[in-house]
Structure 1
Amino acid sequence: MKINVFFIFFFVLTIFSCKKEHYNLIKIEGKQIEITDTLDSNTEIHAYVKPFKERVESDLDNVLSYAVHTYSKRDGEFNTAIGNFMADAVYEQANPVFKSRTGKDIDMVILNHGSIRSILSKGNITTRTAYEIMPFENSIVVVELKGINVNALIDYLTKAKRAHPISKLKLTIDKDFDVIEALINGKEIDTSNTYYVATNDYLYSGGDNMSFFKPNDSLYDLNYKIRNALIDYFKKTDTIKPVIDDRFIQIK
């Protein structure tokens, strides 16, 4: 009987000792540490990083080309010199890549006005310039679109009333924003045709409400960043001098 009492006592003690403790958070304390030049720097880390930093700075400041004027995305109503430059550069750099893989040509390019994040200043153009104009990691994709979806693209441009960069497309609208003429490579859009439209992955995914890219027949990812296309274009073009032209105009 004494043994049984012992085992009962041991069993109860074991149960209570295994019982989980419950903790409740009642207070969080913290303080803000302001990062200023008064903080002591770590000399070992600074010495380690210094050669890498100097190499990156040197690469970014490498002169690639020259701009004859200063160009801003606010310079035009429906097309701008800097936007025209970007769309044309994407076409020129991406089309050989696309053709080598598919045997086909890109029919037109459309980018977005908001992706131009800086002016192109008069003077030397460096690698840093390309990062300032296009800081995003967006890549070039080519979308296979039927003519009816290209018409939806045209409708988007007329309603957006912004200078979204385009290349190989010529669009003329009247004072009421109705289409007078829409040409791709000098020809009227044929709804029975298929067109290959270069853009970036952000817009293809519906960015800036460009929903006309879906549905589509096929998508080709060129694995080629727009910024890299600009850098490559700068490297092979000694002087950059884009203009506002008649690729998208309104007749009032």
Structure 2
Amino acid sequence: MYFYICTNVNNIHSNYNTKIHTKMILKIKQIVIITTITCFFSCKQEKPVLTQISGKQIQISDTIKITDSIEQFVAPYRDRINEVLDSTLAYAPKTIAKNDGALNTTAGNLMADAVLELAGPIFKTRTGSTLDFVLLNHGGIRSIISAGNVSARTAYEIMPFENTIVVVGLKGDAVLEMVNYLINSKKPHPIAGLQIILNKDDSINVIKIQGLPFDESKTYYVATSDYLVNGGDRMDFFKKNVTFTETDYRIRNLMIDYFSKKDTIAPIIDDRFIKLDY
């Protein structure tokens, strides 16, 4: 009987301790959870907000000291690039410029003729059609070609941009709009395959394409730059294109290839775009 009572007392004591222990654990858990949440929100960083932008110009000049380690690393690459860029590809007996004529110039004629010659076969291969003429922009020619050796560097100087040649199909009304644009612009935009002869009063005397009279009922294929076909120089007539072909040929690379094919480059001002004085 004594043993029974003691056992029950011990059981009661044990149950009591268990309840207290459970309550303590629950309380500790609550404290841990509350502390964790508090720390999380108190430690959370606010999203940074840009409040000010400042800058300064650093003039690049010979006063900046050369870092030997960088110079040694760059030198072989620079020397190789200069070797490639300065290798002679052709020869120019006289200076070729973009301002030596009123309606067509030696530089403009050179570039347009190069595009007609080298982009034409690519367009023919891809579409089966023949390239009719070329129109580029006067402002796209960025340098003269000095008399003497012509190199790949020359091509980078006259065409430093990444523009590519595209060919668009234009109906007769769009071509007429193009001709009127060229007349009104008063600039010698480079053309090839197209001839425009104006009367003294700026009215149109002759329009020929590939030596044939202009036919307003035809669709003509015109090579130009991706810059112009996308609205550059306000040549909005290109927006009326009925076909579009990308050649993936950069004008600069085309010029390098053109120079490589020629021993001597000597473009002239001719009658592709002239105005009669009578």
Pairwise same-fold verdict (TM > 0.5): yes
> Which residue of structure 1 lines up, in the alignment, with residue 14 of structure 2?
none
- 1:105 and 2:130 matched: yes
Please give the alpha-carbon distance, in whole angstroms, between the structure 1 residues aligned to 2:261 and 2:58.
Answer: 48
Structure 1 pair 36/118, CA: closer, same or farther in 2 (3 Å)? Answer: closer
> What TM-score do the two structures reach when normalised by structure 2?
0.80
Structure 1 pair 53/173, CA: closer, same or farther in 2 (3 Å)? Answer: same
Q: 1:92 aligns with which of 100, 117, 121?
A: 117
> Which residue of structure 2 lines up, in the alignment, with residue 18 of structure 1?
41
Deviations 1:127-166 (A, max 9, x none): 1111111111110000011111111111110111110000
Task: For residue 26 of structure 1, report the CA deviation from its aligned partner.
Answer: 7.9
Percent of residue pairs identical: 50
Q: 2:261 aligns with which of 233, 236, 239?
A: 236
In the TM superposition, what are the counterparts of 1:203-214 in structure 2 within 5 Å?
203-214=228-239
> What TM-score do the two structures reach when normalised by structure 1?
0.88
In structure 1, stretches of 5+ residues that fail to align are: 1-6
- 1:251 and 2:276 matched: yes
Q: SS of the residue aligned with 1:101?
A: helix
Please give the alpha-carbon distance, in whole angstroms, between the structure 2 residues aligned to 1:241 and 1:118.
Answer: 16
**What code does the residue aligned with 1:157 have?**
L
Bigger helix fraction: 2
Q: 1:217 aligns with which of 223, 230, 242?
A: 242
> Which residue of structure 2 lines up, in the alignment, with residue 4 of structure 1?
none
Please give the alpha-carbon distance, in whole angstroms, between the structure 2 residues aligned to 1:31 and 1:145.
Answer: 49
> Which residue of structure 2 lines up, in the alignment, with residue 3 of structure 1?
none
- 1:226 and 2:251 matched: yes
Please give the alpha-carbon distance, in whole angstroms, between the structure 2 residues aligned to 1:28 and 1:212.
Answer: 42
Structure 1 pair 39/98, CA: closer, same or farther in 2 (3 Å)? Answer: same
Please give the alpha-carbon distance, in whole angstroms, between the structure 1 residues aligned to 2:213 and 2:54.
Answer: 67
> Which residue of structure 1 lines up, in the alignment, with residue 161 of structure 2?
136
Structure 1 pair 15/140, CA: closer, same or farther in 2 (3 Å)? Answer: same
In the TM superposition, what are the counterparts of 1:19-58 in structure 2 within 5 Å?
34-58=59-83
Q: SS of the residue aligned with 1:203?
A: helix
Structure 1 pair 97/32, CA: closer, same or farther in 2 (3 Å)? Answer: closer
> Which residue of structure 2 lines up, in the alignment, with residue 153 of structure 1?
178
Task: For residue 40 of structure 1, report the CA deviation from its aligned partner.
Answer: 3.4
- 1:60 and 2:97 matched: no
Please give the alpha-carbon distance, in whole angstroms, between the structure 2 residues aligned to 1:73 and 1:54.
Answer: 31
Task: For residue 188 of structure 1, report the CA deviation from its aligned partner.
Answer: 2.1
Task: For residue 169 of structure 1, report the CA deviation from its aligned partner.
Answer: 0.5
Task: For residue 37 of structure 1, report the CA deviation from its aligned partner.
Answer: 3.1
**What code does the residue aligned with 1:130 have?**
A
Please give the alpha-carbon distance, in whole angstroms, between the structure 2 residues aligned to 1:105 and 1:30.
Answer: 53
Q: SS of the residue aligned with 1:97?
A: helix
Structure 1 pair 135/15, CA: closer, same or farther in 2 (3 Å)? Answer: same
Structure 1 pair 17/91, CA: closer, same or farther in 2 (3 Å)? Answer: closer
> Which residue of structure 2 lines up, in the alignment, with residue 163 of structure 1?
188
In structure 2, stretches of 5+ residues that fail to align are: 1-29
**What code does the residue aligned with 2:65 have?**
D
Structure 1 pair 224/34, CA: closer, same or farther in 2 (3 Å)? Answer: closer
**What code does the residue aligned with 2:204 have?**
V
Greater displacement, 58-67 / 146-155: 146-155
Q: SS of the residue aligned with 1:76?
A: coil
Please give the alpha-carbon distance, in whole angstroms, between the structure 1 residues aligned to 2:167 and 2:49.
Answer: 55
Matched residue count = 250
Based on CA coordinates, which of the two structures has the bigger radius of gyration?
Answer: 2
**What code does the residue aligned with 2:249 have?**
Y
Please give the alpha-carbon distance, in whole angstroms, between the structure 2 residues aligned to 1:130 and 1:147.
Answer: 34
